[in-house]
Chain A
Amino acid sequence: MSEIGTTGDRTPPPSTLYGLIAEFEDPDKLVAAAEKVREEGYRKIDAYTPFPVHGLAEALAFHDWRVPWLIFICGCLGGITGFSLEASTATPFVQMLPRFARMLPTMNEISYPLNVGGRPFLSWPTFIPPAYELTILFAAFGAFFGMLALSGLPKPYNSIFNAKRFELATQDRFFLCIEALDPKFNYENTWEFLQNLGADSVSEVER
C-alpha cells in the first residue's frame, strides 16, 4: 500500500522534499527497522511515536546528555544563589570586602546582620531550607525549559506534519523518517529500502 507516483516523475525536486516516511503499526517493527536504517548508514533519521518506545533511542543511537547536565548545573546555581542570598544578608561580610567592591551603593546595603539571642551570624543550618528549595526550583526550571529548548520547542512549523496520516503519530501509529538532506539519501533507493523494512506504507514528506 505504498504511494508511488507515475514512473515518469518519481524524482521530485529535492528542495521541496523534507524526506521519506514509513508507517508502522507495531512499535517493535519500528525499532527493528530503525536499527536497520542506521546500519545502512543513514544518519538524519528520526522516529515518531505516540509514547516513548523502549529501545528506540538506542536503535537511533541517540542520547542527549545535555539534559541531565543542564539540570545539575541549574540545581547548583539554585543552591549557590539561595545560600549566598542568605549568607550575604545575614552576615556583615560587606565590611570584609576590599574598598573597591563597596563602591556600588547596593553592595553596602546587602548586609543586615541581626544578633538574635547571641547566635552566630552565619547560622548555616538555618540557611539550608531556603537554599534547598531554590536548588530544587532552579533544577526543575532547568528540566522543564531545558528539555523544551534543547528540542527546539515550542516550534510553530515542523515539516514532518506534512506527512500523510501524521496525526496518527500521537495516536496509535509509529513512523520512521529519513530526511532528504541525509548524505546517503537517494530517492529511489531509499524508497525501496524503506519498503523492504516491513512498513505498512511509505510516502513523501513535503518541506
Chain B
Amino acid sequence: MADVDSPLSESEPLNDVLITGKPTYRSLQERINYLVMAQRNHPLGWFIAFAVGFLLLNVMLMTITYLLYKGVGIWGINIPCGWGFDIINFVWWIGIGHAGTLISAILLLLRQQWRNSINRFSEAMTLFAVACAGLYPLLHTGRPWNAYWLMPIGPNILGMWPQFRSPLVWDVFAVSTYATVSALFWFFGLIPDFATLRDRAEKGPVKMIFAMLAMGWSGSARHWQRYEAAYLILAGLSAPLVLSVHTIVSFDFAVGIVPGWHTTIFPPYFVAGAVYAGFAMVLTLAIPIRAWYKLKDMITMRHIDWMAKVMLTTGLIVFFGYIMEVTYGLYSGDKYEIALVLNRFKGPYAFFYWLLIFCNGVAPQILWWNKARQNLVLVFIVCQIVSLGMWLERYIIIPVSLHRDYLPSSWGYYTPTIWDFGMFFGTIGFFIFLMFLFIRFVPIINVFEMKELLHRILHESHGAHDNAEHGKEAHTSAEPATGA
C-alpha cells in the first residue's frame, strides 16, 4: 500500500468503518505480524528512537546510582516540601497507565469494538508506565534497601508488621496488584497471538520460543470458551482495579491534613485525571505508530476521533475538579484553606497554576470542533499540552500545597535539582526503551481480536460489501451451509 500522505496530516474520510481497505483474516495477521517476523528489515527510525530511549535509560541508571549512594538530599526536597518530583512523577506515570487498562478492560465490558485495534499497545503502555512509576515509591524512601519493611512478611522475619492503615502501605498493595494484574491480562491476550506467530515462524529457535510462550495453544473451541469467560472476568476485575488504584494513590494526599490535600474530591478527580493523561499518551503513541507502521486502516480516524472525545470528556471532569477545589477552599471558611487557594492564584507558584489551567482546561477545548479532532498535528500537540498539564497538576498539588501550610515559620520553597529532572527524563527514556522493544518483538495490535472484529463486520454486511470481501464470494450471513 503506497502511502504518500505525510504522517501528521490526514485526508482520510471519517466514517464508522473500523477496518478499512480489503482485509482478510490473513492480511490483517500478516500486516501486524510483519514487524515481528521481518526482523532483518526493521526501519532505521526504530533504531534512532531506540537509541534515544537507551540513552535516557542510562541517564536514569546514573541518577539512581547517585541517589543510592548519596541519598534523597540530591533532590530538591526539603522541609516543608518533603515530596517533590519523586511523587509527582509517581502519580503521573501511574495515571498514564490507567488509560491502557480502561481501553483493555472497560471498553471491552462496554462492548466497544473500536478498542480491538488499540488495546494491545495501550496495555503495554500501562505495563511500562507502571514499571516507571514503581521505581519512585521504592527509591524515594530514605533507605530503599529497607523497602522490604513495607511487605507483610511476618513477625518471624521482621519482628513487626507494616501499618496497614497507612495509605503508603495501601500503595504497596495497590501498585503491586495493578502491575501483576496488568501483566497477567496483557500476557493472557498474547497467548493466541503467540500461537499464530509460532505457526508462522520457520523451524528454529524462534519457533520454539513462540511455542513456549503460546503454551500449546491450539485454538480449541473449548479452550476459547474458557478463555473468553476468563478474559471477560479479568476485564471485570481490572475495571474496579483501575478505579481503586488511583483512588488509593489519591488517598496518599486526601488522608493527610495538609490544606489543599484533605478534600474528598480527590479520588474521582484523580481517576478522571489519570484517564485524561493516559489517553493523551495513547494518542501520542497511536498517531505516529499508525503512520510509520502503515496501520492506518486498522487504527482509523474514527479511533482517533473517539479517543480525542474521551480525552475531552475527562478533561472537563478534571476541570470540574479544579473548580471544586477552589470552591471547597473558599466556601470552607477555614483560613488555611482560603490562604491556600489565594496562594495558588497569586503566590510564588502562580505562573504554574495558571499554566495548568490553560493546559488542562483551556487548550483541550479545541477538541470540541470536528475539524480539530481530524487534524492529527493539532491532536498530537494538544496531547503534549495535556501531558504537561497533568504533570503540572501534580506539581501544584504536591510541592505547592506543602510549601505553605499551617505555620508560617515552617514555610519554604521547592526548587528541583538536576537530579530530579535527570531521573524524570530517565524514566521517559526507560518507557521509550521498553515501548520500542515491545514494538519490535511483540505484535502491537491484537491479531485474534482484529480477526474477530472482521468476522463481525463481515457478518453484519448482508450480501455483497465492497470493503470487506474475504474469500471468493460475497458472504451472506443469513443461511448456514446446508451441505456441499
List A residues at the B interface (Cβ < 8 Å).
25-29, 31-34, 46-53, 56-57, 60, 62-64, 67-68, 71, 75, 82, 85-86, 89-90, 106, 109-110, 112, 114, 116, 123, 126-127, 129-130, 132-134, 136-137, 139-141, 143-144, 146-148, 150-151, 153-156, 158, 160-161, 167-172, 175, 195-198
Contacts and interface: CB of A to CB of B under 8 A. Distances in A.
Interface string B434-454: 000000000000001101100
A197 B216 contact: no
The list of the 4 closest CB pairs from A to B, nearest first, reads A155-B216, A154-B215, A32-B480, A167-B199
Contact of B221 (A49, A90, A195): A49
Contacts of B54: none
Contacts of A127: 164-165
* Chain B contact surface mostly: helix
Contact of B241 (A25, A50, A136): A136
Given A32-B481, A75-B237, 11 more contacts: A46-B220, A50-B448, A52-B224, A52-B228, A53-B224, A106-B156, A130-B164, A133-B170, A133-B174, A170-B217, A175-B219
B29 interface: yes
B248 interface: yes
B346 interface: no
A56 B185 CA distance: 24
Interface stretch (B138-146, B176-184, B364-372, B377-385): B176-184
Contacts of B180: 137, 140
A171 B160 CA distance: 55
Contacts of A155: 215-216
Given A52-B228, A64-B222, A134-B173, A198 B481 contact: yes
B240 A198 contact: no
Interface residues of B, number: 71
Given A29-B481, A62-B222, A137-B177, A51 B449 contact: yes
Contact of A60 (B200, B222, B230): B222
Contact of A154 (B165, B177, B184, B216): B216
Nearest to B215: A154
Nearest to A135: B237
B177 A197 contact: no
B192 interface: yes
Interface of B: 24-26, 29, 152, 155-156, 160-161, 163-165, 167, 169-170, 173-174, 176-177, 180-181, 184-185, 187-188, 192, 195-196, 198-200, 212, 215-230, 233-234, 237, 240-241, 244-245, 248, 251, 448-449, 451-452, 455, 459, 471, 475, 477, 480-484
Contacts of B225: 52, 57, 62-64
Give the residue among A71, A90, A137, A155 with the most B Cβ atoms within 10 A. Answer: A137
A34 B225 CA distance: 15
Nearest to B248: A129
B217 A153 contact: yes
15 contacts: A27-B455, A49-B219, A52-B227, A127-B165, A129-B251, A133-B244, A143-B184, A143-B233, A147-B188, A147-B226, A150-B226, A151-B226, A154-B215, A170-B192, A198-B481
Contacts of A146: 230
B196 A161 contact: no
Contact of B181 (A57, A132, A136, A156): A136
Contacts of A90: 161, 164-165
Contact of A143 (B224, B234, B477, B482): B234
